[in-house]
Structure 1
Amino acid sequence: MTLRHGREYLAIPGPTNVPDAVLNAMHRPAVEIYTGPLLEITSSCLEDLKRLFATTTGRSYIYAANGHGAWEAALTNTLSRGDKVLVLGSGRFATLWGDMAAFVGIEVEELSFGFRNAVDPAAVEARLKADRAGEIKAVLMVQVDTASSVMNDVAAVGRAIQAAGHGALFMVDAIASLATMPFEMDAWGVDVAVTGSQKGLMCPPGLGFNAAGPRARAAHQRAGLRTAYWDWTKRDGAQHYEKYCGTPPEHLLFGLRQAIDLLFEEGLEAVFERHRLLAEATRRAVAVWGEGGALDLNIVAPSARSNSVTSVRTEGIDPQVLRDYCSEVCGVMLGEGIGELSGKGLRIAHMGHVSGAMMLGTLGSIETALGALDIPHSKGGVQAAVDFLAGAVSAAPAEAGLRNAGA
């Protein structure tokens, strides 16, 4: 017996669910790339990306690439072979960014904080103070690691770099955090920010982005790893095709324009609050289930748990069996554990185009699976999520609607 007939729901941390409005915006013929409406779409997207990154001093760049391409663009535009970077490990993806740096000839030192903890700003400050020769040219960090589900305090690390009096560039991966929680590039001292289209931006995979501040653009002038495709200077050219080093990814741009419009229509503060509430509801449910002994939230400190994705450790059970039940019976696809949680956990995403109905349905599917599979757990996780949302979300709009209907 299966209950999955209907629209499958992706509760994985990328690609995320694409709104129908974005899909519809992409469903149109190709247009001419040298004149006409595509020029305005490019211009407006570049400006609005700066707004999403919260920078007035930085410049934004769009690549036909995934987030790994955006990583490479950040590295090659600012660094030279033999330069040293400090990678702040708190899961899987900062380490992978460091691996990419090593591949192109950059020396990499990793300061690891494990798979269950956030980056410690004090340790970053101490390491940079010890680098009296200024060998470290950049600090690489993710705001949210989708493997561990940690949320790192970008502002605090930025302050630590400043307190150390160190000249290293501060590069931040906001791939799994932009448009799900605050990101303040200028205020937090971020020199290069990167993101991708397939998470909080609610678009299909295929677009990567850089935002480069003044210090990064100064470093760019002497960078020895620059290549034609990723090069910021070439993409600052006057011709439209130069913004993309060739033919623009038109239909992805049509979708991006619509997705950004949806975010601004909702309002960024409301977007952030929606993600916070649905994330906390998910954590409340997992905490209750975990009282049975088989499940546990991966990130130890509550303040370091992200509002994009929740990683869950499993004890004594095969998480794939749970994932298969949710997919095959309920039509809900959960994320598999990766990195340290490979075969030992799962991930529940709550980012991008996600609503209360979507998340409560996902949590209900998980609790159904736990019961059907006789996995040890405490019942009432969904009720804990419902109780939290009922207490957190004002009933005033609904009451106003009822009054208006009565009038």
Structure 2
Amino acid sequence: MSRPHDARRRRRTAIAAAVLAVLATVVAGIELRVVGDLLERDGLAAFYTQPADALDGAPGSLVKSEPLLGVPMDARAWRIMYRSTDLDGDPVVSTGVAVVPLGPPPDEGRTVVSWGHPTTGSASECAPSLGLDPYIGIEGMRVLLDRGYAVVATDYTGMGTAGPDSYLIGATEGQNVLDAVRAASEIPDAETGSDVILWGHSQGGQAVLFAAERAAAYAPELDIRAVAAAAPAADLKALLQTHLDDVSGVTIGSYALTAYSEIYADRGADLADILTPQALAAQPQMNELCLLTHIDQLHDIADPLVGAFVTSDPATTEPWATLLEENSAGGTAFDAPLLVLQGLDDQLVKPADTEKYVASAEAMGMDVTYRTVSIATHGTIAYLGLIDLVEFLDRVGV
């Protein structure tokens, strides 16, 4: 007689085969869509320039959109600029992309996956939608499109187009994630519905957790059916303390502490009070560089600052300690089922820190599924966890 774990193993094998087959189409599709992407480069600056009425409208309303030429196979896509709000409720503008599969939607409209991307930088030029291939960083996009979902991916406020810095500002990022869903609903041909899946990685994991925590009050018309976070930056104190004396800590700290000094200046967040003089001098240049495209330059600047970056531990020094705590996920429970993925070889977001977040969420009565992947690093967990993501979505019935 077949045992339950044998059936589960067979099911996972079937899912793995399906996922790998889907991923195999990505390489062929990239060549085709890059041709279209190249044709679109000339009009980028004009699109990302905000019109005079950019802030005049409800959160989630479109400022503008344009269809894209270079698109994933069997899909349509648009570049979008839309309205959102920051942590104080003030109007801001964000940009991103929306992608939908070809073919008719369900009667109730397509379920929308709102993707929160991992760290790419904090400068405007680091926005994923500005890249030559604006979809390549949407982890699992092909699998999601083939399930019939629409996918929308925010850049976060302050990237792509003018706006306040939002790096690791949980409320702003979370509201950007939710308003991206509303913006997609204003594209008639996207034909989206009110069912939503939130999916994010690293910084984007923090963003979608904040989106889930705030959704009931901020966007009650959206039905958050499931939330999935890969190696989320859930505990910012632990993240910075772990990497206080390495290159990752200098890079993340440069992005984050600069953002906090701008957003929380009225609460006494002054970079001169937490950074060494040499680190303070390096901030302007570091914050102009994007993580993925300028990694060597970032390391050249960061290496001499290792061990000489901060004057004290931000996780124990005010107002930084309180600000990091406020921007750590887990302050509010939410009803949607949650999947948390963690690579056991992750050297950035440590498994022990993710396990603490999971335990805290479970203690609040949340429906949490925690899955680990033994060989996954921080950079690979969202891809290597796709089997678990598909299995989770099937199980919760989305």
TM-score, normalised to structure 2, is 0.28
Pick the structure with greater CA Rg. Answer: 1
